[in-house]
Amino acid sequence: MTRKTYCGNLLWQSGLTLLAPRQLLCTAALLVLSMLAGKSGAEPFRDGDTVVFFGDSITHGGMYYKYIADFYRTRYPERKIRFVNSGIGGDSAAGAMKRIPEDVAEYDPTWVVFHFGMNDVDRGAYSDKSASGLLRRRAAAYDNYCRNLDAVVRKVAEAAPRAKFIYLTPTIYDDTAIPTNMPPSATGWATVNQRGCSVALSMMAGHVLEKAARDGALGIDLYTPLQNYLMKRRANEPHFMLTSWDRVHPEGLGHSIMAWTFLRAQGVDPVVSDVAIDAKALSVSRNTNAEVSDVAAIDGGIAFSVLEKALPCPVDAAATPVVGEFGFAESLNREMLSVAGLAPGRYELSVDGCAVGEWAADELAGGVNLSLSDAMPQFAQSRSVFDANERNRETERVLRNHHSARWAYSGRTDVDDVAAFAKWIEEKGENGYFAKFVPGYVEYWPRYREVRAELLAEQEKVYALARPKLRHYRIVRKPR
């Protein structure tokens, strides 16, 4: 019996032989499936939501989920939304099932975001060899992923009955990279190029989007925008990478693309504020998501005050150079100011006494987007939110290291008895990847609940940092 996948050029015969895939066709199929999946379940998070990001190391590192939190903290500062990192490096859809009580149900979430695949694909089955055993492993990995993803979703639905679901596709494996930043100490799997792995991940992405459409959930294709941007840059920059040297883990720009893709798929409000002033009439023509007051003529221009109900979304430094290319400001960060009725000439805008920029009268009449101007006081305020969230992300990441130790060794010893656990590790001579997390776990796990409470308290400080402030604008004509 021949089994066909979502992509007509990909099939297994009797579940054994993987025929050569064509990645461009797979990408086209992903785009169609993404449109189908994206029609269901698209809605922004609401006040009071608890959102659990359930995944592997790409979530454990916490960057894309932190950028999503940055957006919500600044765009919807009145909403108190709890974002929870429940990623563990090295985990898979199968392994995550035993974590559900502690990493999902514990938080009684209203949303669960699933992001698995990179460790389900069986990267070791991709090499220059073509032995039938490897082909069987590849086919089995796909089948197991489909089955295990379905199973982990069912189990989460039982454990967290009020939660809605978002399914993220796997990200890319960069098997066309020419790494230039590999550290001298690098050894093991990360130094081997597992060709064909990225195409396999695109096939798994297809299953994710199909499942989302069937389940009436929001499915978000992360694979395609990452792969498309990578290929675009690689055409002229052969050494460009979106991942670290291990070809697996996206870095800041990659995580930014993931976050922007997520937010667009949710249908979040792209408007920070939209203010239009008539300088001749000294009136407010439009004040979307803002309150405008004290409009007055001044020598050579106009002054007014604005209380926006949001802040511009901060952007990671690695992503700043490409925000225009991705239409970030237009589609997610519109802080618009229009001033009509000014006499011809050039004008300087200042906000709270800070010089922001210069525009011609017709440019101001047409509207300018101030969201990415680093001279805006609002920009500095949003950066303080970004920095505070980064400190919390790092704390969360360390807590996930502790969870990694629990996940890796639970079932082999009593991980709740930290002293006995430490002794067991020493006696066994454990020195694998997860053993490095044990000393920190033994030292800090007894304070775990306390640290969690401290994190919640820190979030209250972030809400305070994100609270919009009344700003005073002056637009003055420049001397000729």
Tens of pLDDT, residue by residue over 384-412, are 999 999 999 999 999 999 999 999 999 89
CA gap 192, 248 in Å, rounded = 11
The rounded percent of the chain whose pLDDT value lies above 90 is 78
Contact 123, 173 (CB under 8 A): yes
In this prediction, residues 320-330 reach a mean pLDDT of 90
CA torsion, points 406, 411, 416, 421, in degrees to nearest 10? -80
**CA 58 – CA 249 distance, rounded (Å):** 6
Task: Report pLDDT for 27.
Answer: 55
End-to-end CA distance of the chain: 80
The per-residue pLDDT for range 11-44, each reduced to its tens digit, is 333 233 333 344 444 555 555 555 555 556 789 9
Which one has a higher pLDDT value, 108 or 6? 108
351/357 Cα distance (integer angstroms): 10
Are 99 and 74 contacting, i.e. CB atoms less than 8 angstroms apart? no
* pLDDT confidence of residue 34: 56
Which range among 134-138, 157-161, 175-179, 235-239 shows the weakest confidence by mean pLDDT? 175-179
pLDDT of residue 11: 33
Distance CA 403, CA 102 (A): 9
Q: Is the model more confident about 168 or about 317?
A: 168
126-164 pLDDT, tens digit each: 876 556 688 889 999 999 999 999 999 999 999 999 999
Backbone angles phi, psi at 89, to 5 degrees: -60, 135
Q: Say whether pTM exceeds 0.85.
A: yes
Q: How far apart are CA 231 and CA 236, in angstroms?
A: 9
| pLDDT class of 372 with cuts at 50, 70, 90 | confident
pLDDT band at residue 187 under the 50/70/90 scheme: low
pLDDT the model gives residue 186: 66
HSE (side-chain half, CA atoms, 13 Å) at 342? 31
Q: 307 falls in which pLDDT band (50, 70, 90)?
A: very high
Of 370 and 14, the one with more pLDDT: 370
Confidence class for position 194, pLDDT limits 50, 70, 90: confident
Instruction: Say what the pLDDT of residue 480 is.
Output: 80
Q: Which contacts of 150-153 are long-range, i.e. CB under 8 A and separated by 24 or more positions?
A: 150/211, 151/93, 151/94, 151/97, 152/93, 152/94, 152/96, 152/97, 152/100, 152/114, 152/116, 153/114, 153/211, 153/215
What gap in Å lies between CA 41 and CA 163, rounded to an integer? 12
Q: What per-residue confidence (pLDDT) applies to 149?
A: 98
pLDDT band at 192 (very low <50, low <70, confident <90, very high): confident
At residue 87, the pLDDT reads 97
- What pLDDT, on a 0 to 100 scale, did the predictor assign at position 421? 93
Q: Can you give the pLDDT at residue 12?
A: 33
pLDDT band at 8 (very low <50, low <70, confident <90, very high): very low
Report residue 135 CA to chain centroid gap.
33
> What per-residue confidence (pLDDT) applies to 177?
86
* Structure token digits, residue 31: 């785009």
For the cut 50, the answer to whether the pLDDT of residue 5 exceeds it is no
